[in-house]
Amino acid sequence: MQMPADPRGRNLRRPTRSILPEFLVLVVSVCLVFGGLEIYLRQSAAGKAKPYEGIETMPDVADTYFQLIFLQNYAGKKVWFTADFDPQLGWDYQIASNRVRGGEKAGPKSESTLRIVTLGDSFTWGIDVGDRENYPYYLEKTLQGAHRQPAEVLNMGVGSYGLDQAILKYGLHGQPLRPDLVVLGIFPHDYDRTRLSFYSYSKPLFQYDDAAGKYVLSNVPVPPPQEMYEKLARQHEGTASYALVFLKNRLIKLFHSILSPSDPNQYYSTTDRLVEFLLTRLRGDLDKIRAGLFIVHIPRGECFESDKALTIGRNETQTVRLKALYEKMKIPSVDLLEELPKRFPLSTIHREFYVHREDGTLAHFTPRGNAEVAKIIAEELKAKGLLKKSGG
């Protein structure tokens, strides 16, 4: 196409515009953003672990995050956790005695006394409260008092456990006690912990073996802390770009979320199958001695901050999927997210039932919270006909 001519007969030509300045500005801007991200990640409290933080739907990334946190905490201190090392479980409490909180020694089963074993994580154990202030302790007293039920409740909860460790602990140390009933406390994050090989420390992991067509237990025996520290220090030696690692992890997460928004990386469907396998395994062990199983679904304290927070808590993915599994498997359960608000105002639950940390976040149940939870459990056990002796 011919360029138009000016009145003096010369062809008009558009001036050539260089894109080089704009390109250089773009490059400089990207470098500044990238450099700022690098500085932020390096100076953050989580340090080297920061780029791996908060990606539960990629278990290998979450494993790396907790490994780096362990390296950071263990280095120079030789202290890794408040529990004791256990090669079969990763960690446990009261290893030197009977693995039951309070130091109680379970003798032979009484013909008239209902024996209950409680399993779960730090909510069941009762972090932040004393030996006589956790809900298993109050459950025993409530059954003996208000319900006039001869009962003993043995607290075998352990802080930071996933469902896999809680159920493994029952098989190793709870089963010999031949309980009449197992009460399993489940916190939503236990769902995610069950997919990890490392959380507070290295832990057992159930993985599906395609060749064998079944789940197999791996990562046991767990190495002791000093050996684990030396191994991970070598594995994570050197420092890559924090920003590159951060962006790579988020891009992979985004890719899986775009491919399958409701189930990125098939994380939830895979975890559902594992949780169902574990609960089936536990119920099978209990059926052998004609013992019952009851689940207590334990919510985060933040869920009771407002009506909006309560709705968000009810729709939390882990909570929804866990409750669907309880229903599918016909396991008797109680959801404290539903039962507590029936009895108390949200403000009371939020203010008085959960420990408030100095940073404004909420921790575990207070003594009052544990006492009220025990009353709800006792009522539900009675209503569902579970306060009966087994024939085992």
| CATH of residue 143 | 3.40.50.1110
User: Quick check: 118 and 174 in contact, CB under 8 A?
Assistant: no
* Residue numbers of the domain that contains 141: 85-222+263-383
Helix/strand/coil for 334: strand
User: Whole-angstrom distance between the N-terminal and C-terminal Cα of the chain?
Assistant: 96
Residue 388 falls inside a structural domain: no
pLDDT of residue 122: 97
| Number of domains, the chain | 1
Position 60 scores a pLDDT of: 96
Q: Which one, of 233, 75, 69, 97, lies nearest residue 160 by Cα?
A: 69
Domain presence at residue 32? no
Residue 43 domain flag = no
Q: What is the DSSP letter of 171?
A: I
Tokens of 100: 């039951």
Q: What is the pLDDT of residue 74?
A: 87
Please say whether the beta carbons of 137 and 102 come within 8 A: yes
- Provide the residue-wise pLDDT of the chain in tens; the chain has 392 residues: 455 555 555 555 566 666 777 767 677 776 777 677 778 777 876 788 999 999 999 999 999 999 999 998 888 676 666 799 999 999 999 998 889 998 767 778 888 899 999 999 999 999 999 999 999 999 999 999 988 999 999 999 999 999 999 999 999 999 999 999 999 999 999 999 999 999 999 999 999 999 999 999 999 999 999 999 999 999 998 878 888 998 999 999 999 999 999 999 999 999 999 999 999 999 999 999 999 999 999 999 999 999 999 999 999 999 999 999 999 999 999 999 999 999 999 999 999 999 999 999 999 999 999 999 999 999 999 999 999 876 55
Residue 355: Cβ-neighbour burial (10 angstroms; 0-12, 13-18, 19+): middle
pLDDT at 43: 81
Residue 63 located in a structural domain: no
Residue 224 CB coordination number (10 Å)? 11
What are the φ and ψ backbone dihedral angles of 298, each rounded to 5 degrees?
Answer: -110, 115
**Residue at 236 is within a domain:** no
Residue 178 in domain: yes
The pTM of this model reads: 0.90
DSSP category for residue 303: G
Indicate the SS3 state at residue 214.
strand
In sequence order, the 6+-apart residues with CB closer than 8 A to the CB of 75 are 229
58 found inside a domain: no
* Burial class of residue 25 in the structure, from the number of CB atoms within 10 Å of its CB (0-12 exposed, 13-18 middle, 19+ buried): exposed
Is residue 324, in this structure, part of any structural domain at all? yes
